[in-house]
Homo-oligomer: A and B are copies of this chain.
Amino acid sequence: MELSFVEENYLKAIYQLELENPSGVSTTALAEKTKTKPASVSDMLKKLAQKELIFYKKYQGAKLSKSGLQAALLVIRKHRLWEVFLVKHLSFAWDEVHEVAEQLEHIKSNLLIKRLDQFLGYPKEDPHGDPIPNENGEIIEIPKILLSDFTTGKKAQISAVKESSPLFLQYLDKIKAGIGSNIIIQERIAFDNSLEILLDDRTLYISEEVAKNIYVTED
Residues of A within 8 A of B (CB): 86, 89-92, 96, 99-100, 103-104, 107-109, 111-112, 115-116, 118-119
Q: Report the copy number of this chain in the oligomer.
A: 2
Q: How far is the CB of A23 from chain B (nearest CB, A)?
A: 36
Q: How far is the CB of A170 from chain B (nearest CB, A)?
A: 15
Residue of B99, B108, B111 near A92 (CB, 8 A) is B111
**CB-defined contacts of A119 to chain B, threshold 8 Å:** 89-90
Q: What are 7 sample pairs from A and B whose C-beta atoms fall under 8 A apart?
A: A90-B116, A91-B115, A92-B115, A96-B111, A100-B109, A100-B112, A104-B104
A86, A99, A112, most chain B CB atoms within 10 A:
A112
Known pairs A99-B109, A103-B107; list 10 more (Cβ under 8 Å): A86-B112, A86-B115, A89-B119, A90-B112, A90-B115, A90-B118, A90-B119, A103-B108, A103-B109, A104-B107
Q: How far is the CB of A99 from chain B (nearest CB, A)?
A: 7
Chain B residue with the shortest CB-CB distance to A96: B111
Chain B residue with the shortest CB-CB distance to A107: B103
Q: Report, nearest first, the 7 A-B pairs whose CB atoms are least far apart.
A: A90-B115, A100-B109, A103-B107, A100-B112, A90-B119, A89-B119, A104-B107
**CB-defined contacts of A90 to chain B, threshold 8 Å:** 112, 115-116, 118-119
Bound Cα distance A99, B108 (Å): 9
